[in-house]
Amino acid sequence: MIMDIHQILKQLPHRYPFLLVDRVLEIDKGVRIKALKNVSIDEPFFGGHFPHRPVMPGVLMLEALAQAAALLAFDTLGVTPDDKTAYYFAGIDKARFKRVVEPGDQLVLDVNLDRMKSGIFKFTGRALVGADLAVEAELMCTMRTIA
């Protein structure tokens, strides 16, 4: 299954400048998602991180992985979230940053669903630029109903 930006916007509540998934290349329901984040010099964080050598913040690479994970979770459950649903980080383990990500790079987000139980999802994710690993981490996320 491929998702373009219009389909992603229907699934994720994030908007510019915090929407960090541009396209979904593959979803294997309940197993894996492969998505893209195109990194542009126009990203607002580059003005201050760092002006002399723009680098994408590691926390935003993790957020991009979490957004891809959310798309996988929604697809797995067969749901489209509404205004009463929130999807949050519950934990990040074993995060390792292996390569800087700069303007012009394309992050390939590769996330596997390891398990889900009682509304808690555990994922293993990694983001690559070409064949180079940029970041890897174990992510825990939860879906909650909000007032």
Mean pLDDT of all residues in the chain? 96
Flag whether pLDDT at 145 surpasses 80. yes
Our answer to whether residue 14 is catalytic in this structure is no
pLDDT-derived band at 122, boundaries 50, 70, 90? very high
Q: What is the mean pLDDT of residues 8-21?
A: 95
pTM equals 0.96
According to DSSP, the β-strands at 106-117 and 32-38 are: antiparallel
Among the four given CATH numbers 3.10.129.10, 3.40.50.1460, 3.40.640.10, 3.10.450.50, the one describing domain 5-145: 3.10.129.10
Tell me the pLDDT tens digit for each residue of 70-115.
Answer: 999 999 999 998 888 889 999 999 999 999 999 999 999 999 999 9
Run of H or E residues at 68: helix 58-77
Position 146 scores a pLDDT of 87
Q: Please report which helix (H) or strand (E) contains residue 144, including its range.
A: strand 132-145
Sorted by where each begins, the domain ranges of the chain are: 5-145
133-134-137-141 Cα dihedral, nearest 10 degrees? -120
pLDDT range class, residue 1, cuts 50, 70, 90? confident
User: Which sign does the torsion angle of CA 4, 7, 64, 24 carry?
Assistant: negative
